Amino acid sequence: MSATEFDIIRKYFSPDIVREDVKLGVGDDCALVEPPVGKTLAITVDTLVSGVHFPTNTSPGDIAYKAIAVSLSDLAAMGAQPAWLTLALTLPEIDETWLKGFADSFSETASDYNCQLIGGDTTKGPLAITVQATGFVKPDQIMRRDTAQPDDKIYVTGTLGDAALGLRLLTQQDVSDSIESYSIQRLNRPEPRVEFGLALAKYCRCAIDISDGLNADLGHILTASSCGADVELDNIPLSEQICQYFNLSGGSVDWGLIFSGDDYELCFVVPEKYEAAVYELAENKQIPVTCIGSINDSGLLQWFDKSGAEISVENTGYKHF
Ligand SMILES: [Mg+2]
């Protein structure tokens, strides 16, 4: 580690919160942590590359927020309580204004979720941010992708497609300010469903967070669980703002946009007997949930309209390569 690297970390990344389970944080070769007895660790890592995962003119505060939020969204999807973060930061140059904006937001966001930054690395190169998040799960309350069963019901939290619309509106400015500001907020500041995921894990065994788009991510559940699903397109929850946008641009819903990802909502699967519990939880946590379909043993993901006609939504979803 160069002196400059130490300077950056000391100046900008001293943690605001100090957790008791962190025995040694930033500054040595490794962090030392003590996981709680009886819990399983859930560990996830995500890289955001400038110009690929966020537009190059995104503010440093929004970048830092989203870098944490997307990793916490993975923890939420497993039913994990977030605890520790590591950060690998690749910077083209040392820009003190950028770094302060990034670090302040990083620290605030980590604190909001009671997470401590316990280590990191800085390198020179094209702007990229890697956040690893570790959380704790009860071994008997883990939500995985490979546990869906025929006849289970499929739900999603929140609304889909808003972030994709936000990305589109960054280059297309002929809609109202309220649609634009809402969707760009959803793009830059997705809310990981951490509390909801933790509560859901009490009776749900199967969930995923929607990062690549509902079509792709529900597909991951079906592949892992060797199942199929029927989904009614008209049940997919859309925000008032995106409906207004579709109305202004011809009236029909652009499913390619809805399924292009970056939502960070949860898609989860539970037996029908828990329907009332799901809606009670949604009410308690003030997170809207919608039943969009059911699991079957067909091995296919099929989409239907209100009349029961099958609709093709192939070739949608975020492609990593
Ligand atoms: Mg995920």
Q: Are 154 and 136 in contact (CB under 8 A)?
A: no
pLDDT at 14 over 80: no
* Residue 144 CA, ligand 1 centroid: distance in Å: 11
pLDDT at 1 over 50: no
* Residue 189 CA, ligand 1 centroid: distance in Å: 16
N-terminal to C-terminal alpha carbon distance within the chain: 32
* Residue 264 CA, ligand 1 centroid: distance in Å: 8
Which residue blocks in 14-86 are alpha helix, DSSP H? 60-78
Higher-confidence residue of 248 and 36: namely 36
* Residue 193 CA, ligand 1 centroid: distance in Å: 12
Please, which pLDDT band fits residue 223 given cuts at 50, 70 and 90?
very high
* Residue 250 CA, ligand 1 centroid: distance in Å: 33
* Residue 217 CA, ligand 1 centroid: distance in Å: 8
Task: Please report the pLDDT score of residue 92 as a whole number.
Answer: 95
Higher-confidence residue of 246 and 6: namely 246
pLDDT tens digits for 65-112?
Answer: 999 999 999 999 999 999 999 999 999 999 999 999 999 999 999 999
Q: Are 196 and 266 in contact (CB under 8 A)?
A: yes
* Residue 210 CA, ligand 1 centroid: distance in Å: 7
* Residue 253 CA, ligand 1 centroid: distance in Å: 26
* Residue 78 CA, ligand 1 centroid: distance in Å: 9
Task: Please report the pLDDT score of residue 279 as a whole number.
Answer: 97
Please, which pLDDT band fits residue 8 given cuts at 50, 70 and 90?
confident
pLDDT tens digits for 269-294?
Answer: 999 999 999 999 999 999 999 999 99
* Residue 200 CA, ligand 1 centroid: distance in Å: 16
* Residue 152 CA, ligand 1 centroid: distance in Å: 21
* Residue 248 CA, ligand 1 centroid: distance in Å: 33
* Residue 240 CA, ligand 1 centroid: distance in Å: 26
List Cβ neighbours of 155 (8 Å cut-off, separation of 6 or more): 267, 268, 269, 270, 278, 289, 290, 291, 292
Task: Please report the pLDDT score of residue 62 as a whole number.
Answer: 98
The overall average pLDDT reported for the chain is 93
Q: With pLDDT > 90 as the criterion, what percentage of the chain qualifies?
A: 82
What the block records as the tokens of 235 is 């049940």
Higher-confidence residue of 32 and 3: namely 32
Please, which pLDDT band fits residue 222 given cuts at 50, 70 and 90?
very high
Task: Please report the pLDDT score of residue 318 as a whole number.
Answer: 63
Please, which pLDDT band fits residue 15 given cuts at 50, 70 and 90?
low
Query: CA–CA separation, 33 vs 25, rounded Å?
Result: 8
* Residue 191 CA, ligand 1 centroid: distance in Å: 14
* Residue 8 CA, ligand 1 centroid: distance in Å: 30
pLDDT at 63 over 80: yes
pLDDT tens digits for 164-206?
Answer: 999 999 877 667 888 999 999 999 999 999 999 999 999 999 9
